[in-house]
Amino acid sequence: MKPNLLYTPLVYLKGVGPNRAETLKSELGLETYGDLLQFYPNRYLDKTQYYKISQLHNSGADVQIVGKIVHLKTVEQKRGKRLVATYVDETGQMELVWFRGHKWIKENIKMNTPYVVFGKVNRFGSTFSMPHPEMELLKDHQAGLKISMQPIYPSTEKLTNKGITNKVVSKMVQQLFMETKANFSETLSQGLLNELNLLPRPESLLNIHFPKSQDLLAKAQFRLKFEELFYVQLQLLSKKAVRKRKIKGMPFTAVGEKFNEFYANHLPFELTNAQKRVIKEIRNDMGSSAQMNRLLQGDVGSGKTIVALMCMLLAIDNSYQACLMAPTEILAQQHYNGLKELLHKTDIKIALLTGSTKKAERTFLHNQLENGNLNILVGTHAVLEDKVQFKNLGLAIIDEQHRFGVAQRSKLWQKNTIPPHILVMTATPIPRTLAMSLYGDLDISVIDELPPGRKPIKTVHRFDANRLKVFRFIKDEIEKGRQIYVVYPLIQESEALDYKDLMDGYESIAREFPSPKYQISIVHGQMKPQDKDYEMDRFVKGETQIMVATTVIEVGVNVPNASVMIIESAEKFGLSQLHQLRGRVGRGAEQSFCILMTSHKLSEDAKTRLETMCRTNDGFEIAEVDLKLRGPGDLMGTQQSGMLNLKIADIVKDNPILKLARYHAIQLLKNDPKLEQPDHHVIRNTYTQLVKGKGLWGYIS
């Protein structure tokens, strides 16, 4: 079939018309024949099986039963009436119930005549009932067209109100198959179809909409999921290959004096094997003539900063400058203090640039950067300003990159004639599944080992009723000279409520921990930045023992002496946020604790989150659970969710297919990078269509 037929507007499909076309576009985003073809059912009603009344279970599933109506009665109820029919087969009896349409049913029902009924069954006591069943005389049923598995399409209230029911959508799809004669072009090579034993594309599309059997449906789903994920991977991998080919980097060939001297004389501790492995991976990247683009993942406290510093020293040894950009002033300040401390016995020049940097200081800093006297610049978004010019920027490190937009990152590239090497760091573990899809075009390094001597944080769940015991525990910890965080949730929609919760909490803690014996800091979003910094600073210096805060402390603050993290209303937090907050403690050698406080009313998801937190400290395991609970779009936030606009595949549930698709995309590009072999022309043509943007699929952002 000519691909352009798939671009035909839906208004031209028989049975659609301008009004329906408009509704389908506004409600479901369906504009063309191709869109409707890829509007896949989200479940199926299996009409291949007939149940006996004695086999029924209260499972909420749709069932199909052959029997007869032997009695009909009207029952009065508080509001209106209901019509109840006694329906029997040779194994027992049940009820069919209607709450509306009584007159029509009474006039048209044939008593003691075999019917096939279909619908959900409910159980009341020992009796099963089926409200508003689909009904068909057995003789008509046997003579009719056998669509054994009935497709159910996603819908909205507006569609139903406008009469675009499931039946109507199903009819439209049938019409589409008739008009196109199901003559759809193949999009995968014959080699792939044979090797993976995949159904041809036309057969897959027919069986996804009108499956002939469970087996053919499963094969159609597999084929279409594979195809979708294969092209996602092909695009990511091609992008990576093109970038490595076209964007030349600066080869850092020397491992020189600064790196070696620091490694030999100034490292404050022995590197873990994971840190050594990651430094080696980064060294290989920066040593080649292609620009490095690497994502460094490491759990809270795994030692990413020291790895970042070793990489900066490599740049400096090769006569280049380095910069480290962080999303907040607190975090930038912390990185700066940490690096300064590590470098204080060396002659390496390092400076900090944030929105608060004074004008005179800035001017001096700009000059130092431009004449090359400054080796390392740590900063916030302020680094991106046009006034900030480097003599020769060789390495740009971005911390917590999901807080920076793409445009901001590209501004860093333009700070040098040859784009600097890029290292992106995150303490939010990204499940492998997601990393393969979202960051398939980056190389990925993982620090999956904590420094020796760190004790795992003990996490417990306590209900509000245990609060007094928790207070006693806090007093014991303060007696030992430790500090405590108490964090309240921040739900944007109700800032006033959050503030009230925080202030109520603060007051009850102030009553329990009176001054002057105890000192309490408080930090929240409505404070001025300088007041926030002042309170944080008091806590960091140990002048206050308790920090009451909203989630503003999630990223950043490093207080090795803080050993207890209390998270109030923990059920309102997502898993990754709970894990990030827990990572604020456990930074010293002492045993640390995380206490999750909740009310007794908990949803199933909340129970799973709390149980996961208490069971494991492994960020990657937590991220996998989080992904299953929330789905990929939510997990990555809006800027990346477009990437996962998948029509049929689910990168969590279909992880094995994703791995298979990625493997075959890698093999294909390795053996035939330009897709020039005759068998690969079909892939090249499909891929070209896709990349044009109007493409056959809209699933790659």
What mean pLDDT is predicted for residues 294-313? 88
Say if residue 316 is in the same domain as residue 439: yes
* pLDDT > 50? residue 697: no
433 and 466 part of one domain: no
Q: Find how far residue 423's CA is from the centre of its chain.
A: 21
464, 474, 540, 544, 584 from 485: Cα distances, Å: 17, 10, 12, 11, 9
Q: How far apart are CA 548 and CA 606, in angstroms?
A: 23
Between residues 205 and 214, the one the model is more confident about:
205
Residue 676's pLDDT band, with cuts at 50, 70 and 90, is: very high
What local confidence, expressed as pLDDT, does residue 404 receive?
56
Pair 434, 324 in one domain:
yes
Q: Structural domain of residue 581, as residue ranges?
A: 458-616
Q: Is there a single domain that holds both residue 604 and residue 534?
A: yes
532 lies in the same domain as 559: yes
Residue 417 domain-assigned (yes or no): yes
User: What total number of domains does the chain contain?
Assistant: 3
Residues 333 and 390 in one domain: yes
Q: Is the pTM of this model over 0.75?
A: no
| Residue type, position 642, single letter | G
Mapped onto helix, strand or coil, the DSSP state of residue 83 is strand
Q: Are residues 550 and 463 in the same domain?
A: yes
Task: Give a yes or no: residue 190 inside a domain.
Answer: no
Q: Do 486 and 601 belong to one domain? A: yes
Same-domain check for residues 439 and 351: yes
How confident is the model over 498-551, as pLDDT tens digits?
666 788 888 999 999 998 899 999 888 778 878 888 888 899 889 999 999 887
Read off the pLDDT of each residue in 361-390 and give the average, rounded to a whole number: 92
Minimal CA–CA distance to 680: which of 193, 6, 2? 193
| Distance, CA of 129 to CA of 58 (rounded, Å) | 10
Tell me the per-residue pLDDT of 467-504, one tens digit each, with 9 for 90 and over.
Answer: 999 999 999 999 999 999 999 886 544 566 666 678 88
pLDDT for 694: 44
Tell me the three-class secondary structure of 90-112, residue by residue.
CCEEEEEEECCCHHHHHHHCCCC
Angle at the Cα of 107 from the Cα atoms of 102 and 112, rounded to 5 degrees: 100
Which of 575, 526, 572, 518 is closest to 547 using CA atoms? 518
Check whether residue 468 and residue 356 sit in a common domain. no
* Total Cβ atoms within 10 A of residue 599: 11
Q: At what angle do helices 201-209 and 214-246 cross, to 10 degrees?
A: 130
